[in-house]
A and B are shown apart, each in its own frame.
Chain A
Amino acid sequence: MTTATPPSSAPPLNQIGAAAWAKKNLFSSVSNTILTIVSGLVLIWVVLTLLIWGFTQADWRVIPANFRLLMVGRYPINLIWRVWLALGLIVVAAGLSWGVLARNSRLFDRRGLIVLGIGAAALVIVLALLSDPISIAISLGLLALLVGLAFVGQQVGKVVPTFGNWLPLVWLVAFVIGYSLIRGFLIGRPVKGDDLGGLLLTLLTASVSIVLSFPFGILLALGRRSDLPVIRLLSTIYIEVIRGLPLITILFASQFLVPLVLPPYIRTDRLIRAVVGLTMFSAAYLAENVRGGLQAVPRGQAEASKALGMNPLLTTGLIVMPQALKAVIPTMVGQFISLFKDTSLLTIIGFTELLGIGQTILANPQFLGRNVEMYTFIGLIYFLCCYAMSIASQRLERQLNSSGTPTVAPAATIDP
Chain B
Amino acid sequence: MTQPQTEPTANQTGAEPIIIARDVEKWYDNNFHVLKGVSMTVTKGEVVVVMGPSGSGKSTFIRTFNALEPYQKGTIEIDGIQLSHDLKNIDAIRREVGMVFQQFNLFPHLTVLQNVTLAPIWVRRWSKSKAEEVAMQLLDRVGILSQANKFPGQLSGGQQQRVAIARALAMQPKVMLFDEPTSALDPEMVREVLDVMRTLAGSGMTMVCVTHEVGFAREVADRVVLMADGMLVEDSKPDEFFTNPKSDRTKKFLSQILH
Indicate whether B108 reaches chain A with its CB closer than 8 angstroms.
Answer: yes
Q: A310-B123, A404-B111 are in contact. List 19 more A-B contacts (CB 8 A).
A: A301-B107, A303-B68, A304-B107, A304-B164, A307-B94, A307-B97, A308-B167, A308-B168, A309-B95, A310-B122, A322-B109, A323-B107, A403-B151, A405-B153, A406-B153, A411-B103, A413-B102, A414-B63, A416-B55
Indicate whether B66 reaches chain A with its CB closer than 8 angstroms.
Answer: yes
7 nearest CB pairs, A to B? A304-B105, A308-B119, A407-B153, A406-B108, A300-B105, A309-B94, A307-B99
| A186 to B180 alpha-carbon distance, docked (Å) | 61
Q: Which A positions have Cβ atoms within 8 angstroms of B? A: 1, 3, 298, 300-301, 303-311, 314, 318-319, 322-323, 326, 403-407, 409-414, 416
Q: B109, A413: Cβ atoms under 8 Å?
A: no
Q: Could you give 22 example pairs across A and B, Cβ below 8 Å?
A: A1-B143, A1-B147, A3-B146, A300-B105, A303-B68, A303-B105, A307-B68, A308-B168, A310-B122, A318-B122, A326-B109, A403-B151, A404-B109, A404-B111, A404-B151, A404-B153, A405-B151, A405-B154, A406-B108, A407-B108, A407-B160, A413-B179
Set of chain A residues within 8 Å of B151, measured between Cβ atoms: 403-406
Closest to A304 in B: B105
- Cβ distance A382 to chain B, nearest Cβ, rounded Å: 35
| A411 to B152 alpha-carbon distance, docked (Å) | 16
| A394 to B102 alpha-carbon distance, docked (Å) | 35
Q: A409, B105: Cβ atoms under 8 Å?
A: yes
Set of chain A residues within 8 Å of B101, measured between Cβ atoms: 300, 303-304, 413
Indicate whether B98 reaches chain A with its CB closer than 8 angstroms.
Answer: yes
Indicate whether B118 reaches chain A with its CB closer than 8 angstroms.
Answer: yes
Chain B interface residue count, CB cutoff 8 Å, equals 41
Closest to A405 in B: B153
The proximity string for B residues 50-88 relative to A, scoring 1 for CB distances below 8 Å and 0 otherwise, is: 000001000110010010100000000000000000000
Q: Among the listed A309, A323, A404, which residue makes an inter-chain contact with B91, where contact means beta carbons less than 8 Å apart?
A: A309
Query: Which residues of B (159-212) have their CB < 8 Å from a CB of A?
Result: 160, 164, 167-168, 171, 179-180, 184
Closest to A319 in B: B107
Set of chain A residues within 8 Å of B180, measured between Cβ atoms: 413
Set of chain B residues within 8 Å of A310, measured between Cβ atoms: 118-119, 122-123
- Cβ distance B237 to chain A, nearest Cβ, rounded Å: 28
Indicate whether B231 reaches chain A with its CB closer than 8 angstroms.
Answer: no
Indicate the member of A301, A311, A322, A414 with the most B CB atoms within 10 Å.
A414
Q: B66, A307: Cβ atoms under 8 Å?
A: yes
Q: B103, A301: Cβ atoms under 8 Å?
A: no
Q: B105, A308: Cβ atoms under 8 Å?
A: no
A303-B105, A407-B152 known; A309-B119 Cβ under 8 A? yes
| A410 to B164 alpha-carbon distance, docked (Å) | 15
| A326 to B110 alpha-carbon distance, docked (Å) | 13
- Cβ distance A165 to chain B, nearest Cβ, rounded Å: 12
- Cβ distance A277 to chain B, nearest Cβ, rounded Å: 35
Q: A323, B119: Cβ atoms under 8 Å?
A: no
